[in-house]
Amino acid sequence: MPVHTCAILLSRQPLRPTRDTAWVRKTVQAVRWAGRRRLRVYTSLGMSTWEMGAAIARRERVSQTMVIPAFDRAGFEKKRTEAIEQFDLGGAEVDYVPVVDDCRDRGELMRIRDRYVVSNAHVLVPVSVRPGGGMEKHLAKREHDGARVIRRYETQYESRTEPLRYHVEHEELNPALDRIDGQHVIHWTRSSNGPWPTERALDYYEAILTSRTYPRDGFATLCNILERRRICASPRHMPGGTPAVSFSDSPPNEFARLMRWRARYREMSFEPYGIGIGREYAVKCGIRPVRYYEGSDKPNVSGREAWLLQSAGKRSDWRNEDEYRFRGDFELPETTDDRLIAFCHTTGEAALIRRKYGMNAVAFVRGPLR
């Protein structure tokens, strides 16, 4: 008996969904429907909607055909290995199909993947498709040609409307921030638009599928660091791609003005969540100050020291951050004495950290948010 395939169609969706987000609920229902009819669901990588489908199919034990876009065969093999690990697919019923094209443009590669899936699926199930977008055009052509289209799980497409950005106003600042100036270097963290460095993609999507609020916001990210007693290094924006942890020596009450929305990266530059390391302890651990330079006047240093260099900036003056760095992951001390302090947005969050982790915590705002 031939196996028939099903494509659950979604355009790119707003950031930071929850289990109650319409497209998430409808995708769960559509995957379950496909499973009951023994349809093999098309899934893929590279976009949260395709990856959510893979996580749901894994969770519901529905067979899937994972389409993996890549620029060459070696890239496909690497991504397939990563997918098996990230989505725990070792024992699942999964076929892997390469969509290989040397176009060298990621956006075009994703469009080639979409065309392949829509063209080859026996059944099409639109869930949240952007009007006038490429996915809608592929769907309309297949429907015109007589393909079977199931529309019972459709929900209205919504462009990004959630308020991801916010400001900490100066008049709201907690006076307690003034009393801790100069005593710590601070690692500031923020919401994550994807999995934490400490988790698999499957764990990230499972968290979304079971949470009424976005489970990887700034406060949750801070708590994850405290749970694991480690700040994971990142090569992002670092010279030479060297994994490092960033800290700031700028006073917290002044640092609030640097917290702004960065549309290019779809995230805040910083959020009012961080961990302060006592200055003396920080120096002993090897946390070191960054060397700033202007224009093309880059210091001539050995490659071993290049990770400590930072351009002063053109549109923004990065020297205001007064940045320090630590190469590699930074392990937090086991004791919660004056070497550590947590910074939170609200007084309620600070109280929770004091209770749960037994450490000092200070809120950025002086009282409950209205």
- Residues recorded for the chain: 370
Where do runs of H (alpha helix) occur along 201-343?
201-209, 218-228, 252-255, 279-285
Measured CA to CA, the distance from residue 340 to residue 225 in angstroms comes to: 13
DSSP 8-state secondary structure symbol assigned to residue 365:
B
Farthest CA pair distance, the chain: 74
Q: In this structure, what DSSP letter does residue 258 have?
A: G
Tokens of 187: 């690692």
Domain segments of the chain as ranges: 5-149, 170-363
Separation between Cα atoms, residue 23 and residue 154, nearest integer Å: 8
3-state SS class at 86: helix
For the chain (length 370 residues), average pLDDT per consecutive 10? Answer: 84 94 98 97 97 98 97 97 96 93 94 96 97 94 95 90 63 80 86 93 98 96 95 87 91 76 72 92 93 75 76 71 92 80 93 94 74
User: What is the structure's pLDDT at 7?
Assistant: 98
For residues 234 and 75, give the distance between their C-alpha atoms in angstroms, rounded to a whole number.
23
DSSP assignments along 120-178, one per residue: H-SEEEEEE--TTSHHHHHHHHHHHTT-EE--TT------S-S-------GGGB-GGGG
Class for domain 5-149, per CATH? alpha beta
- Give, for 19, the enclosing helix (H) or strand (E): none
The predicted model scores a pTM of 0.89
pLDDT at 370: 41
Of 125, 50, 33, 132, the closest CA to residue 86 belongs to 50
